[in-house]
Amino acid sequence: MVQITPQKREKELTKLRKQQAKPKGRGYFAYFMLVITVIYIADEIASQIGIQMQSIVASELFAPVFGEEFAVARLGLIGSVAQIGSVLAFIYKPLSDKLGRRIFLIINTFGMGLGLLFVSVSTNIPVYVMGAFVISFFIPHDMQAVYIQECAPAKHRAKVYSVIKSIATLAIFLIPLLRRTFIPDTDLSGWRFVYMIPAGIALAAAVVALICIRESDVFIENRIKQLTTPPEEKNEAQTEGGFINGFRYCFKNKQLLFIMIAGGFLMFGMLVTQNYETIMNYGFAQEFIAGGAATEEALALAVNSVSQALLLFSAGSAVFQLIPGFIADRFGRKVTVIVMSVFMLTFYLLFYFGSRNSWNEYLVGLFCGAAVGSYWSTGDMITLMCSESAPTGIRVSVATVRPLITGVIYAISMLIMMILSNVLGDAKIGIICLLTVVPGMIIGIVILMLKAKETKGVDLETIGEKNET
């Protein structure tokens, strides 16, 4: 570990104490929550837009090169290069445990906007991949979620988080609204505007955060404690951040390790969140294929049905990301994971069969949103349990390690999807998802229930002081 010099320590302490002493001003918490919500909206749109525009981007950029039948599969294969960005985040993300939450909240939001802007001006595959890479680098950090977890009262932590996340999810409505505005009928040429407007929102949110948001009080207090506590008196609560320290802590602390292993298997459900637009597109296309249309023509005709369905996607997703916070603060995080996993699988079956059997588009979209929202709620509970099991000084570093541990397990499902979809074609993605997701999530639930302790109501400032593992 690199030792900080006395001069740098005093300089940092002076800066921290100055921030701590600065009055928040009247109504700070209200506009803090407003800004955090807008940033969460930008994050949710950046996370979902590539999925909701999947078949359209594939048709516009990949089909001319690879053909329509395998366009989405090739997008997934080549686009996986962009996911390297999320892996590289482990170098950057832990810095917020030493340098603070605020600067990274601003940088991450600006970065998401920049990535969306790159995609909006792309006219070829390399530029698209570059934009997707930038987005994938900045999305995983979720600094707005760390702010909420560190600022909300312990007994209401899950509820506050769920309410803000639900509002942000509801704002995903903007994507299908822009689809219907700029992509009428079968004319896909206006797709770039669907990316450009959210890019402006993210960039504006970054500027507002720079002006309005102050450093997290929990971070300031913990960092001062770290800098003023003699090395021989430090316990786990004063563990300093950094990827190596976070990695060691995760494997030392069995609670965190088993939560992450369970989370990796639960992540199999992410296959649905990455492919629902394509699943619906091929589902709705069945009606036109049955009428004699060729696959390429049927997919183009189905675009309007998907756009209609997505109008209610955000509503379904928002409701099922609002519910778990109230369940979790009442009955616990583990029970919530089981309930939301059952919801996820049930609603997936409904929207899959509904799209293939010409059910009402809005109903299919509502079911689809409910499935995706339920999945993200299970992921949010895993994230929350990890945060509630890690000391403040290393919390973000632990959050950086978590995707690496869970990602190794999730890679199994990605490999299955990549191989089978590229062999069988895009039309089989729906059934491939189902047969991969169900066993993975069942294994995750069993591990969580048997090996992890409940974390409801823990005090974030005292985690690690009893040296429990």
> Tens digits of per-residue pLDDT, 428-444?
888 899 899 999 999 99
Furthest-apart CA atoms within the chain: distance in Å: 78
Whole-prediction pTM: 0.66
**pLDDT tens-digit profile of 402-428?**
878 888 898 899 889 889 888 888 888
**In this predicted structure, which of 176-185, 360-369, 414-423 has the lowest mean pLDDT?**
176-185
Residue 185 makes CB contacts below 8 A (sequence gap 6+) with 303, 304
Q: Alpha-carbon distance 263 to 173, whole Å?
A: 28
**Whole-number Å distance between alpha carbons of 221 and 16:** 8
Cβ(92)–Cβ(25) below 8 Å = no
Scanning the structure block, which residue is given the tokens 């294929």? 289
**Cα 298–Cα 192–Cα 111 angle in degrees, nearest 5:** 130
Q: In a 3-state reduction of DSSP, which class is residue 390?
A: coil
Q: DSSP assignment, residue 152? A: S
- Flag whether pLDDT at 235 surpasses 60: no
Nearest to 241 by CA among 255, 262, 227: 227
The residue count of the chain comes to: 469
Burial label, 219 (beta-carbon count in 10 A; 0-12, 13-18, 19+):
buried
- pLDDT score at 469: 42
Handedness of CA 137, 32, 150, 378 (dihedral sign): negative
